[in-house]
Amino acid sequence: MTRKTQTTKVDSDARKSKPERPVLLFKKNDLLSNAKYGQNFRLENMIYDLDRYYRLYVANNIPSTQRDLRIHMFEEIYHLHEDVFSATFTKGNIRRKHLSEMKKHMSLVDMLLRHLGEHKYVKAQKIEHCSALLCEIKTIVYGWAKREELAGKTK
């Protein structure tokens, strides 16, 4: 005895339609336009872009004999993420401490990028792009640190 299965015809429109997007409780630009936290979120996004570019285009091209350089870069970029969040949600001397830590981690990332470029482990174009991303991050962090320093002197 054979068993017949029932087949249903699916609308071709239903297959082609995209799933519905979740409804956001805020607009994307709300976070960036917020005067208090806007700068910090932009900074976090820039660090995320640096991290993503490094993972996709630089880390894969580092030879396995230089695995320690790859690991140190990952650690320093991770510490940048950590310090941005810590500096965002603290005040006063603690914030200044995290900003100085960020300066230290950026200098180490810069040194490691220079080392990768000198020994030609990675193409110069990719190193330059990482350095340009890091330079934008440095500009914001040094400006933020200067503003915090001036705010500390006026109090």
Instruction: Name the residue ranges covered by the structural domains of the chain.
Output: 37-154
Task: Quote the pLDDT of residue 32.
Answer: 38
The region, left, alpha or beta by phi > 0 then psi within -120 to 50, assigned to residue 92 is left
Which one is the CATH code of 37-154: 1.20.1440.60, 3.40.50.150, 3.50.50.60, 3.90.120.10?
Answer: 1.20.1440.60
Which residues of the chain fall below pLDDT 50? 22-37
pTM over 0.95: no
d(CA 98, CA 83): 5
Look-up of token digits 């239903």: 14
| Amino acid 102: pLDDT | 96
Neighbours of 24 (CB within 10 A): 8
Q: Where are the beta strands (DSSP E) in the chain?
A: none
How many whole angstroms separate alpha carbon 126 and alpha carbon 122? 7
According to the model, what pLDDT value does residue 7 have? 54
